[in-house]
Structure 1
Amino acid sequence: MQIRLTVLRPRAGAGLPASATDVLVTAPVGTALGALSVALAGAVGVRGPRSATHVHLYAGSERIDDRTPLGHPPLLDGAVLALGEPDPQALAAPGEAVTELRVVGGPDAGGVHRLHGRQVRLGRSSEADVPLDDPDVSRLHLALQLAADGSVTVHDLGSTNGTLLDGSVLGEEPRPLPVGALLRLGESTVTLAASSGPARATTPDGLGHLQVGPAATAVRPAAASAEQPAPPAAAAPSRTRSLLSRTLGRPTTPAPAAPDASQEQLRVRDRQAAALRERFPDPAALLLTALGPGPRLWERVPAHPDALTVRLGTGDLPGGPGTAPGTLLPAVPVTVDLTACHSLGLTGPRERVLGLARAVLAQLAVLHPPSGLSVVVVGADGRLPAEQRAEDWSWALWLPHLRPMRGQDCRLLFGLDATQAEQRLGELLDTEEPLGATLLLVDGDVGSPEARAALARVLRSDVRVVCLAETTAQLPAGLGAVAELTGEVATQLTLRAGGEPVEGVALDAVSRPWAERLARALAPLRESAPVSRGPIPEALRLLDLLELDTVTPAKVSARWEGLPSTTGTATALLGTTRDDLCTVDLAGPESPHLLVGGARGSGKSELLRTLIASLAVSERPDRLSLLLIGGQGPSLAACAELPHVTALVDAAADPRQAMLTAEALLDELTHREELFHGRSFASWYAGQALSAKVVSPRGSAPAGAPAAPPAAIATVTAPPPRLVVVVDDYEALLAPHSPAGRPLARALAAVAQRGGRLGVHLVATTGHPEQTADTELDEAAQWRIALRSDHPADSDLLIHVDDAAAVADTTPGRGYLRRPDGAVLAFQTARITGRIPRTATLRPTVVALDVTQLGTPPTRRPVRELGNGPTDLALLASALQRAAAD
């Protein structure tokens, strides 16, 4: 398990800020904070007592118990831990206040301020209660008065550029400030709002993340209607030429409504303006959505009508149908549709452009799920010091959208030097199967001629690109839209998108601390049902997929105790597909049997061992029995110690045992048919009391002893368990030189024909699909798997497509599952016979994160199997035996 944390060093003195260090913690699941405390203190240079009991860590103002396990709240990905004292900068959740003041637009947008006391002053000075980094705002610009009854009044403090309240000039006499009214001071817009509503439900996964549940109420953009204007996007810039005007140094005054506008038309204007502001949320609303998390988190899935549409600022735009001619909608969002224009350039003074770029990237991350949008940040401009490039983009390392989900060889999708930039751009060009949209953000020059040529090719691809530069001439050629910062202090922008420019837009920009706070809020969040998990892994451990990283009888017993009191299950977890876990349900109504094929060395036997182990975990031994048959060798011998296994038969080595097993199988089918009186296993089993008694021990006859039929199928007790017959090398039983195999093959054919409705299932592998074609099993098995095949025809015989012939021989266990409904899914088999990874036994480590190196291939801890230790299968068998005996 790996989790990123930030540790704050104790302050050197009163009023001084605490220095922070970002760290990567690697530890086994369940590690307590106390095991890491000394290492976390050392990461910030504090060398105190070696005992963890003397190291105190705080999350906000609360001290964290040393017994708190890593990966559980508050020790989540992105958490800030203060060493030795509470975090002096910890902010309480904005929703705790009854009323909030939100900065919804301007060069320092996004702030959410809880209103307390009697007076709140806004201004550019550090003495202001709500400071704004806006050059057009006076040092102390205006003041809010809070009454005991909750009402709020506002008055100007004699500012240089004045204040507007919903478009009218505000004087020094107090006026009521209703919720939702817009206050314009300088280029900034603030509004009074009620506190945020309830947050979305989240569930900790114990690995440092929170699974985000569905929204309680779906929030969708207002539907287009006869009275609603089209979104103010770059796709149609010619509708408005000059959005704003400056008069006598005063703030923007919206054009009045048309003289003949009726009250109904004015109401329509206000509704249209409100709908656009709701449709394209402001930075303050985005921050609250991330912190909640709110109901609009990740709402813009690929099919959303506003997917990849970004808000750049606000302006006064023409009203839609239903308003009087000449009416302008005041202070509504101005947007760019990246789906339509593909690429966007942002130019102007660097600090202002970075603020606008942060706002663009933040809204994309809040509104688009990581499964639907991948973000790549390239900042390799050699004209800037490496430390500055890293500092400018360090906040983005917390965004989950920068995780490499397509096999990229890096920790995060950063390109902060020329080598990294070439690697990231090359990966974008090499992507053959895009999984969702990709956004590339390029800060300045990409660092090398090779990277510039690659960027030119990326701009011609389906990747959406946002480029930053100080001048338009420094941007790459051929961008679909360009937003150039204008005005004396670069707080407005002009938008060009192929037509006449859209001028005078009041930009939305956010600070780096604001962006980091938002990104940290998103860092631990994960989609509860992700659309895609990226590429299929090359190697998997079954115990990890079963969430049994530590195998104990108690964990197994807890699973069995939670099973429903119905017919026994027979669901096997085999591995993972690209999108989900790969499972086969033999007890379902679709098909009771499974046929597996593949070339030599493709992983057939390991797949069977994985299936057997997974079935054993999924059901109690008294409700599920396993009969294992090897057609030409003891390939399944490692599974013999599982308590569910009633017999292990090696047909090649023990022909007599094979013949007795054939007889016992036929007797079993006959007995069940007589017992069920024409009913199916499921209908007969319904309502029957299940025995808790564990079946008798099992095993093959010892050497030299008379062979006996398997215990669980020679003498059947009522109610009988489900029986899964697992056969490796099925075609060997069909060979003419195998006289003992032929009777067993006939018995297996009867199982394929009659066993499904009797609760007897057949799973078999074949290395020669042409030899098993048209057999009873081939006709009955609707669950079918093709691992790597030597010939396309073999793959086609198994899964009716030839895809398995293209599987590389370097990935054993990779194959395709054909479901009973005809769907074919690529998957990777999980391994069960490997030994415990050495990393599971290593002590926790704490390593400082270097932002400049996050785009390089990660240094991996060596993962080697314990050569003299037990296999995962042996550990599982021991735990299952003890659980069955309890």
Structure 2
Amino acid sequence: MISDDEPLTLPKPAQPVPRPALPFAAALLPVAAALGLWAITGSVLSLWFAALGPLLAGGAALDGLRAARRDRRRARRSQESLRASVAARLAARHATERGALSARHPDVAGCLAEPEGIWRTVPGRAHQLRVGTGQRPSAVRVVGGGGDEEDAALRAQATRLDHAPVTVPLGDGVAVVGPPVAAAAVGRALLAQVCLVSPPGEVRLVGPVTADGGWTAALPHRRCVTGMAVQLCEQGTVPERGVEAPIALVAPRMPPPPRCAAVLTLTGLGAAWLDHGGFGREVRVEALGRAQATAVATALDVRAGAVAGAASAPSADLALLLPHAPSAAAGTLPAVIGRDGGEAVVIDLAVDGPHALVTGVTGAGKSELLTTWIASLCATHTTAQVAFLLADFKGGRAFDRLAALPHVTGVLTDLDEAAAHRAIHSLRAELRHRERVLAEAGARDVDEAGEVLPRLVIVVDEYAALVGTQPELHALFADIAARGRALGMHLILAGQRAAGVFRDALLANCPLRVSLRVTDVGDARLMLGGDDAALLPGEPAARGLALVRRAADRTARGVRVAVCDDDTLARLAAVDAGAPPRRPWLPALPDRLPLQALQTLGTADGATPRDGAILLGLADEPDRQRQRPVLLTSAERGLVVVGGPGSGKTGVLRAAAAQHDAGRTLVVPRDPEAAWDALAGTAELPPGTLVLVDDLDALPAPYGPDHEAILQERVEALVRDAGRRGIRVIVTTQRLTGIAGRVAPLLTRRAILSLPSRADHVAAGGEARDHHRDLPPGRGVVDGLAVQFALAESGLPEPETDVPLYRPRGLVGLVAPASPAAREVRERWQSAGVHVVPLGGAARTDLPTGPTALWGEPETWLREWRTLQEVRASGALLVDAACSGDVRAVTASRAAPPYAAPGRDRAWLWDAASVALRVRLR
């Protein structure tokens, strides 16, 4: 595909066809053959063959000439066809270029044909004046071809663009030289063009209003004090001092005034000669009659009034305009929001909407507009007809004044972002609720249902901030916009910008547009289809000036928004407007949920605690407008609870233990010896047992490598086989590392309570948006829902480990270090009548009778191997827990003994059957 910027290429000239050469060899061969025959035969008749040579040569030459003419004709036709194609493309490019120039620099007729382009910002248009239509250089280029006249003419034609707009800089000034009537008509057209292209404030009209120029008095540019100064000077006058762009009318044969670099000399009807910059050219000029100019000025004055005409009018009090509000009727939501001059402006959200978009920069008066709109609706409607949900996400308290109105179901702010998002998500349930109510009433829409359902107006100030934190809300509001008309749900969404904030699905269903001042032309065009909102003045006096455009409006209408003071709101709040409307969301979850309160709510799906289900807490489902108990049923394997310090994870275990039979509840104690003993017996747990483990991630910390490995195997086996054995396991952990990380995937449910950081929350398997730092104890997320876990008054029962005190009753081999603690134990034994004999101090046959302890350090026992074997075979072997590193060497047992905490006077007792028992030494 050839770009329009690439030059057009003419075909190369056809190569000349060479003249065919005479076939001399073919001509001489018959002559030579005839002479040879004559010499051989002697017959004169054979010489006639010599005549064939010239004949053949002549025929070949004629055939070559005919073929050459045919090739030349074919090459000429191809050349002409390619040249015609280039000429057609040249004409098309010229037409495109001419159209682009005409759109960029329209004359009066062009502006009136496309009124949307009036005062629109177009690149390259600013301060350029179209003086007529004529020939100008073209950007199109034609290259290639030969030196013939046709190619040269086409290349020359490409450089010129005929019947195109001819412009001069407005600041150069224009002098129109000609007869008074004709020059005045052309001058009017030039000035009207300037005022149609440039908005007030970009140019201003100065100079006196003369009799012939009386039409200029209506131009809004004459009331401006800023912008390029333009003056229309009649014949015989000169521009005033300070005029930057004069348009001077000059009588024939009179010199043009100063500061007019472009001179337009009228040469006939609609024709003129333009002299500018040392070059001259013929142009066709546009003329405008006095009545036509007056119509143009009046139209611009009306347009300026729609844009900024109300800027100088004082703000109206809403209380004074409410008597002009129409009475409410079925299927309507009329509200008076301000005035246009002396006329009250009424917009109907149900008829003109059903949804509205509002834009405006900070300080333009969006919040005041929304307050007035809401108050006006409340003044003319009962709570059975309309209700409001207000959301302010710009960090202020603009809607606090409206909270007392009986129609307002609630005011949401970003100061409590979680609660606000929860209420917004509840609107999904409101859609389903209204569909269900309409179906039960047999109505197709809310109008047919009467006052069974009030219309719900959802007002959001700073919509961009709301959806910025949760982009999935775009789909929710698009759904409301698509289905809201029939269900009686209406949106009023406000923001500083429109582009990039309101998506296409929303824009298509929000035909009612209200725009205060915006700074971006793109926002103004997206909202109103023109630049008017970007041209609104920004001074404080213009605060509350807005443009309203309905779906049926061709242009926007200006309105000065009325002011709603506190006295008006107080009177509206005191009016009996009917019963309070239904709130479209439930109260937030309680910060503290006693188990007894949860039990009174019942359980979901018909299950009760008597069926073996354990009540965990209360789940919040805002998109279903319900809060239901969360259960751990008897069919589930268990639950892992992840939470930081103070998050309430231990309280989950307390509540579960309080609901379960104590005889079938195993609480793994925090004491490492007791925890070892509790987990050692899990293989024999009966079905229906509930196992509770607190801080699973910290459970292996006190154990050595051997005992830690065994402990982890027991926990994993317990959880893995829990479902098959009918056992449920609830564990808590601060992080999913180590044993907790391996066990968590085996459990069917997971609860994530408060964690220190968002990264910890995501690592625990949660969504980043669900992380909140300041959650009350027991608040967490289960299955994507916010849950408040129940709180039980009773503590978590922990079984105590009874470690028996050991006293020798016969011969026992004591393996103990020579430490002060071990020496104290031996001394106590001796004082209790036990004989303590150092190993190697006496022969086996010389040992005293009665309770005797044969004591030695691990190294001594390993040297006395025979004695060690005899003690293991015939008596008891007692190993101090301080010698845990030598247990296997001394006992010759691969099995690890029960865990014994160091520093607590623990020891292991091996009997003849090599069964280890944990005992106390004192």
Asked if these proteins are the same fold (TM beyond 0.5), I'd say: no
Which structure is larger by alpha-carbon Rg, 1 or 2? 2
Flag the structure with more relative contact order, 1 or 2, with Cα contacts below 8 A and sequence separation at least 6.
1
User: What's the TM-score once normalised by structure 2's chain length?
Assistant: 0.30
User: What's the TM-score once normalised by structure 1's chain length?
Assistant: 0.31
Which has the larger helix fraction? 2
